[in-house]
Amino acid sequence: MARVTPLGSRLMLLESPRDTSWTEHKRGQLATVLKALQGDTKGTFHGLGSLVVKPPRDKPTAQVVLYRDFKIPIRVLAEPRYWYSMHRKLVITEINDLKDRVLVQFTTSGISGSFYGTCLYARHNGQWGCYTIKPSAAKTISLAEAWLEKRKWEDWG
């Protein structure tokens, strides 16, 4: 887990928790902080570095698409912290026509089988949010949204 704190209009601070306080890792513009996330070899920041990683054949990662094309804030992209901590891969499964709803699946596989979780990144009440969805309601955006409406936009997590 980490936090990025704005220190000014262009200056950011990257920190991670340590015992009862926070440890500074990098200070600078957003690109500098993102490069520090990318360079993490210990798994400290779990996947957020993929915002700047160049995948093969210049195909952007799902995080890049969500951040760059949909303008979803990093703090919202990072909300499924537990899934990132388990090194699950983010895959976009559906985008609505208005581009204000994106259904994503976090997947991983191992000796015990494959595991996944689904969340809906959605603009609700003018703000982007990340909503974990119950598996039975996670097949489409419309099912996920109907499920969230019944729950007054309280996610599964």
**Residue ranges per domain, the chain?**
1-45, 58-157
Quote the mean pLDDT of the chain. 83
Of 23-32, 42-51, 64-73, 111-120, the least confident: 42-51
Tens of pLDDT, residue by residue over 109-136, are: 777 777 788 999 999 999 999 999 998 8
The 3 state secondary structure assigned to the chain is CCEEEECCCCCEEEEEEECCEEEEEEEECHHHHHHHHHCCCCCCCCCHHHHCCCCHHHCCCHHHHHHHHCCCCHHHHCCCHHHHHCCCEEEEEEECCCCCEEEEEEEEEECCEEEEEEEEEEEECCEEEEEEECHHHCCCHHHHHHHHHHCCCCCCC
Tens of pLDDT, residue by residue over 134-153, are: 988 999 999 999 999 999 99
